[in-house]
Amino acid sequence: MSTTLHRISSQRMFSGNHQRFSHYSQVNQCDMTFAVYHPELATGQHLPVLYWLSGLTCNDENFSTKAGAQRIADELGLVLVMPDTSPRGDDVADDPDGAYDFGLGAGFYVNATQTPYAKNYQMFDYVTKELPAIIEDNFNVTDKKSISGHSMGGHGAIICALKNPGMYQSVSAFAPITNPTQCPWGQKAFTGYLGADTDTWFEWDSCEMIKVLEAGDPFFTLPLKVTQGLADNFLEQQLKPEALTEACQRRGKELDYQGAAGFDHSYFFIATFIEEHLRFHRKYL
């Protein structure tokens, strides 16, 4: 079934265009918004795609306006796709107390199973199935794709790669929530979206999944890069990068990990290292 896209805006940028679109999502059963930056290096040329997943409280516009990624994407010939972080709308269930770390703006890139969130919060299927199909049907792109993200989106990027062997050419993350079953943000989100049975949580936790990967799983050879600001206020309680580095080391999974002294959790941090990450991905696309 084809999807009708409604263009919200379009701005000329470098050689290409930065555009925002809305559409009705079949998996989330509501309108969704995403942004695309598409260089025009050659008329009709099909380019590979980098999907960017943003963090808590963000939407597609945070990365678009703050990271400065389009200049490098233009040089490298990369299409950037930036979805929203959750479903939205008057009929979409939110945190009953209006908290920032659950509900609208905080979809956690899982497929919710609990009422009332199961109706709309199918962000994993949206990011890995519905949105790529839309992009490949409507834009001049190849089927080569990589994925990256920040914080909650870093968690999402790694989970998408782990649960979809062979889909992505590379994966990277900025300050990811590496071990959500063991941190307050993740525990709250997983209880609300997945229920009280903690055994089901492990299927959405990067560290726990890496621990039980079968030998020969494609994830072991997938290029993985993580950059973490060492002045990040959320470092010890929420992000726990040592859990990821230890899980990878224990299983012999190569990880390009960089601890960046003096950097916090903000888009100043992302803007500093985004070029490094885009060049990393381009090597494999």
Domains of the chain as residue ranges with CATH:
6-282 (3.40.50.1820)
Q: What are the catalytic residues?
A: 151, 232, 265
Query: How far apart are the C-alpha atoms of 82 and 73, rounded to whole Å?
Result: 13
pLDDT at 43 over 80: no
Q: For residue 39, name the pLDDT band (cuts at 50, 70, 90).
A: very high
Pairing of strands 256-260, 224-229: parallel
What mean pLDDT comes out for the span 192-196? Answer: 98
Q: For residue 282, name the pLDDT band (cuts at 50, 70, 90).
A: very high
Q: For residue 267, name the pLDDT band (cuts at 50, 70, 90).
A: very high
The owner of tokens 């060049």 is 279
Q: Please list, in sequence order, all residues whose beta carbon lies within 8 angstroms of the beta carbon of residue 230, skipping any fewer than 6 positions away.
A: 259, 260, 261, 262, 263
Q: Which of 107, 109, 121 is nearest to 162 (CA)?
A: 109
What mean pLDDT comes out for the span 218-240? Answer: 98
pLDDT at 45 over 90: no
Write out pLDDT tens, residues 139-176.
Answer: 999 999 999 999 999 999 999 999 999 999 999 999 99
Q: Which of 150, 153, 279 is nearest to 223 (CA)?
A: 279
Q: For residue 190, name the pLDDT band (cuts at 50, 70, 90).
A: very high
Confidence (pTM)? 0.97
